[in-house]
Amino acid sequence: MAAYDVIFVGGGPAGYTGAIRAGQLGLNVACVEFRGSLGGTCLNVGCIPSKALLQSSEFFHHAQHKSAEHGIKYQKVEFDVAQMMKRKDGIVSSLTKGIEGLFKKNKVTYIKGKGTFVNANTIKVATMDGSVEEHTAKSFVISTGSTPIELKAIAPFDGKDIVSSTEALCFEKVPEHLVVIGAGVIGLEMGSVWLRLGSKVTVIEALDRVLPPMDAAVSAEMKKILEKQGMEFMLSTKLTKAEKSGKKVKVTAERDGKPVTIDCDKVLVAVGRRAYTDGLGLEAVGLAPRKDGKLDVNHHYQTAVANIFAVGDVIDGPMLAHKADEEGVAVAEIIAGKPGHVNYEAIPNVVYTWPEVASVGMNEEEAKAKGLNYKTGKVPFMANGRARAFGETDGFVKIIADAKTDRIIGAHIIGPNASELIAELVIGVEFSASAEDIGRSSHAHPTLAEVMKEAALAVDKRSLNF
Ligand code: NAI
């Protein structure tokens, strides 16, 4: 029995970051986590392992298809899936252990086990060693994250051939034919990994475009580029069934009212994630998730029970690690009596395909739907010296600014290193920059970042190198 100021339930980006911040602020803090390692989905079975595999597969793809242009020839390029997986697992394990070190440094108690509320001040933890303990706290933060959505009725997960992203990160060999359900972030990232390693990849998407929430120009460009790489898309197509049939998986879908059938080796179902609060004992404190599984909170992240807060994927907003960790910090500050705050207008969104996609703020359709008076500047990487030297000229930067104030309201990049380049425009949005501010800032030459400057100048129809 211990009495804490605050206990974070869930040790993913929201929970572990919040716990560290609470420790920094002098609170007596604990974090309950039952996975056996800290870091949540992101570190264990999401962002980090997928990026490790994306990097390895991109190196292979580069050696095979792009190095000859640079005058580099390999006699034979081979890959070793087991070594890729070993490297990926090593990265995950060192990073998750790193969080344990950060917990010690910031005096956060790590409680290993599954937490269930007993009442609004007490949680019962079934620990990993089989015992049950109770811990009390003045405040709790629910940071239990999310889990892949399963299409139970038509394509139940079997952990081997009809799988979620978790298993698609661990295939022991390259599937001959992988069918991906959902042309969202996971579908395109994991589809890219296996495509580069030699799989035939077919993506089935219910809507009429890839990456549906992204700016339409970016979606169209992404589809074109991935098709050039060999990815096949069946848009406006809805999955109706996926089932084992001998050694294969038979996938049936519906397009224009007609059935389509594909025999493949593996099916990755990537149709979104749902908030995870299973077994948390919400009923014991009088809380209930909404129909979509999420918890309602006020602007201080308080649930209907004043001393129980919630942050990350279990509440509204994009299911992104960096949104979750900002909320973790904000809630720790609020609990410590400080003015914690997250600026949701300045949360970047990234897709780690190659080229990468990154955006912040509104897309053009949203600006149009809101009736905003806006102007846009769009410049391709083709016009940039560094992109030419890099040998990566696909894509563009598009900046959307308010027509009257010139304030940047959205920025969209598809191109090399977009995930890093977007940071400049996120800072721009955070500091209410105008397009002219970016256009008048000196950008090192030659850099990919110059395309941001050119796109900002293009908002006022005065780009210099395009
Ligand atoms: P998503 O919401 O990005 O995409 C799911 C897609 O599946 C949508 O395009 C939807 O129209 C389609 N779909 C739904 N039901 C379908 C059906 N029956 N047949 C065909 N298509 C169907 O979800 P995803 O890719 O599973 O990712 C889940 C979450 O994880 C997202 O919220 C994302 O933000 C997060 N994530 C973020 C990453 C990043 O930041 N790079 C990487 C991976 C995941």
Structure tokens at 465: 């190198």
Q: Are 99 and 21 in contact (CB under 8 A)?
A: no
Mean pLDDT of 270-281: 98
Structure tokens at 152: 């139970």
Atom of ligand 1 minimally distant from the CA of 151? 18
Which helix (H) or strand (E) segment is 229 a member of? helix 216-229
Structure tokens at 443: 């950008």
Is residue 416 scored above 80 in pLDDT? Answer: yes
CB half-sphere exposure, 391, CA atoms < 13 A: 8
β-pairing, 248-255 vs 237-245, is antiparallel
Mean pLDDT of 392-420: 98
Residue nearest to atom 41 of ligand 1 (CA): 351
Residue with tokens 């995870």: 276
Is residue 1 scored above 80 in pLDDT? Answer: no
Residue nearest to atom 14 of ligand 1 (CA): 271
Query: CA-to-CA distance for 408 and 301, rounded, in angstroms?
Result: 28
Q: Are 227 and 233 in contact (CB under 8 A)?
A: yes
Residue 445 known to be catalytic: yes
Peptide bond into 355 cis (omega under 30): yes
Domain range annotation of the chain? 2-148+274-342, 162-271, 346-459
Tell which residue, 342, 322, 345, 319, has the closest CA to residue 410: 345
Choose one of 180, 186, 254 to mutate for the ligand 1 pocket test, by most ligand atoms within 8 angstroms of C-beta.
186
Q: What is the pLDDT of residues 430-450, one digit of tens each?
A: 999 999 999 999 999 999 999
Tell me the percentage of the chain whose pLDDT exceeds 90.
Answer: 99
Burial of 131 (0-12, 13-18, 19+ CB in 10 A): exposed
Domain 2-148+274-342: give its CATH code.
3.50.50.60
Q: What is the pLDDT of residues 193-227, one digit of tens each?
A: 999 999 999 999 999 999 998 999 999 999 999 99
Q: Can you give the pLDDT at residue 2? A: 58
Q: Can you give the pLDDT at residue 290? A: 97
**35 contact partners, CB below 8 Å, separation of at least 6:** 11, 44
Q: Are 276 and 313 in contact (CB under 8 A)?
A: yes
Tell me the percentage of the chain whose pLDDT exceeds 70.
Answer: 100
User: At 399, is the pLDDT very low, low, confident or very high (cuts 50, 70, 90)?
Assistant: very high
Tell which residue, 96, 100, 129, has the closest CA to residue 19: 100
User: At 394, is the pLDDT very low, low, confident or very high (cuts 50, 70, 90)?
Assistant: very high
Mean pLDDT of 162-178: 98
Of the options 2.40.170.20, 3.30.390.30, 3.40.50.620, 3.40.50.10470, the CATH number for the domain spanning 346-459: 3.30.390.30
Q: What is the pLDDT of residues 60-76, one digit of tens each?
A: 999 999 999 999 999 99
DSSP line for 355-406:
SEEEEEE--HHHHHHTT--EEEEEEEGGG-HHHHHHT----EEEEEEETTT-
User: At 147, is the pLDDT very low, low, confident or very high (cuts 50, 70, 90)?
Assistant: very high
Structure tokens at 37: 């390692």
Predicted TM-score (pTM) of this structure? 0.97
Fold agreement between 2-148+274-342 and 162-271:
yes
Torsion of CA 28, 318, 377, 188, to 10 degrees: 120
Choose one of 271, 320, 349 to mutate for the ligand 1 pocket test, by most ligand atoms within 8 angstroms of C-beta.
271
CB half-sphere exposure, 330, CA atoms < 13 A: 21
Is residue 83 scored above 70 in pLDDT? Answer: yes
Q: Can you give the pLDDT at residue 130? A: 93
Q: Can you give the pLDDT at residue 90? A: 98
Q: What is the pLDDT of residues 328-359, one digit of tens each?
A: 999 999 999 999 999 999 999 999 999 999 99
Q: Tell how far the Cα of 213 is from the centroid of ligand 1, in angstroms.
A: 10
Q: What is the distance between the terminal CA atoms of the chain, rounded to a whole angstrom?
A: 67
β-pairing, 3-9 vs 29-33, is parallel
CB of 62 sitting under 6 A from ligand 1: no
Distances, alpha carbon 442 to alpha carbons 74, 418, 429, 461, in Å = 40, 19, 18, 18
Q: Tell how far the Cα of 148 is from the centroid of ligand 1, in angstroms.
A: 9
Domain 162-271: give its CATH code.
3.50.50.60
Q: What is the pLDDT of residues 224-238, one digit of tens each?
A: 999 999 999 999 999
Residue with tokens 């090192």: 444
Is residue 400 scored above 60 in pLDDT? Answer: yes
Question: From the centroid of its chain, how far is CA 55?
Answer: 16
Q: Can you give the pLDDT at residue 205? A: 98
CB of 6 sitting under 6 A from ligand 1: no
Phi-psi region of 345 (alpha: psi -120 to 50; beta: other; left: phi over 0): alpha
